[in-house]
Amino acid sequence: MAPSVMALRRPILHKVLDYENEYFALLMLVLETHSMRTTDASFSESLYGLRRRTVRLKLKKDDLHSNSTDGIQLSGIEKHQRVLSVVFLVVLPYFKSKLHSIYSRERETAVRASLWGPGDESFDDADYLDVAENPVDQSRTSDQDLSSREQILQGAKKIIAACYPWIHTGHEGLTFAYQTLYLLDATGFYSLGLHALGIQVCRATGQELMDASSRISRMRSRERERLRGPPWLKKLQGALLSCMYAALDYSQTGLIAAVFVFKMMEWWYQSAEERMSAPTIYPPPPPPPAPKAAKEGIPLPSDRTVCPLCSERRANPSVVTVSGFVFCYGCIFKYVSQYKRCPVTLIPAEVEDIRRLFHDM
């Protein structure tokens, strides 16, 4: 969302938006690989102090020959599990997003064809003249353009469009089932990928956090010792490594800060656009003057709580909407039903113009 907001102000960023899935996948590949290599957890899991552990069956000493188990034992993950974890975290979601984009385009094309027909291509005058002058050459060129490779690609896209809904439904169904079973404590794996790799996610202890810090220090020391070349080149490589380490170490804090900044920018520009597009609010116009009492009408009493028709205190007060004067409901109902007008102003009125009042002034 934030790149889209920035692209509205900087059109050159539209080129970045064309490959936003690739850039995002590359960024997540770097972050997830670093997080798996240093903390045995994904980027988001390390943010909450979680670690991935291999599930191993713990055998009883008395039942070694019978292969009976009484529990599980967790240990650190291996190298191939780290690699496969990155594949499940980054590579497979990326391919799924590409399949979704292909399915969306094919579905849009099918809908357009169903509405307008398959032959909705438009030609300009130059193309029409070329076809009219050289019909044989044009047909031969069109046949050559439709190569076998394009036919294979079109067939593959149609297969993807037909199979993707089933793939998506199966993936979402398995995800929902695993998460439901995990919440019900029926399984220790909250996703199909973790189950396939035999990995569980658990809370890291203080000792594990300290061990992870020391392991990172040892890894970086070995990487610095492997630097080769003249002294100035070693210093340059060491400076680059230090910058890379600092960027990776503060990537979590930087990501949170970046999200906050982007959300602030989005709110700021959205508020500015709303203020610019908001209509100007003018004060309400003054009410029209009240109708005056007619000379031939019933005179108004000095006491405002007295009904002009019965000269008694109003009971069940009701107003005539065409004039605004208040009477007893029984009195005004009979008068309007008979004379079809307001008794004070003589303005034409109907029974539908009488409204009951629940607060008499």
What distance in Å separates the CA atoms of residue 29 and residue 247, rounded to the nearest whole number?
Answer: 15
What distance in Å separates the CA atoms of residue 169 and residue 173, rounded to the nearest whole number?
Answer: 6
Mean pLDDT within 165-190: 91
pLDDT digits (tens, 9 = 90+) for 92-122: 999 998 899 888 888 888 877 776 655 544 4
Please name the helix (run of DSSP H) or strand (run of DSSP E) that holds residue 355, with its range, or none.
strand 354-356
Is the pTM value of this prediction over 0.75? no
Domain boundaries, the chain: 290-361
Model confidence at 69, in pLDDT bands (50, 70, 90)?
very low
Residues of the chain with pLDDT > 70: what percent?
77
| Amino acid of residue 300 | L
Please name the helix (run of DSSP H) or strand (run of DSSP E) that holds residue 267, with its range, or none.
helix 251-277
pLDDT digits (tens, 9 = 90+) for 316-338: 899 999 888 999 999 999 999 99
Considering 81-95, 124-138, 215-229, 286-300, the range whose residues carry the highest mean pLDDT is 81-95
Q: Cα dist. 262→92, 98, 240, 255 in Å?
A: 27, 25, 28, 10
Q: Would you state the structure tokens that stand for residue 137, as one six-digit string?
A: 């050459």
Q: Which CATH number fits domain 290-361: 3.30.40.10, 1.20.1250.20, 3.40.50.300, 3.40.50.720?
A: 3.30.40.10
What distance in Å separates the CA atoms of residue 39 and residue 36, rounded to the nearest whole number?
Answer: 6
Model confidence at 138, in pLDDT bands (50, 70, 90)?
very low
What distance in Å separates the CA atoms of residue 13 and residue 225, rounded to the nearest whole number?
Answer: 41
Burial code (b: 16+ CB inside 10 Å, e: under 16) for 251-260 equals beeeeeeeee
Considering 122-131, 216-225, 294-303, 340-349, the range whose residues carry the highest mean pLDDT is 340-349
Total residue count of the chain as it appears in this document: 361
Kindly report which listed range (6-10, 50-54, 163-167) carries the lowest average pLDDT score.
Answer: 6-10
Average pLDDT score, the chain:
78
Half-sphere exposure of 37 (CA within 13 A, CB side): 14
Q: Would you state the structure tokens that stand for residue 349, as one six-digit string?
A: 């009125």
Contact 324, 311 (CB under 8 A): no
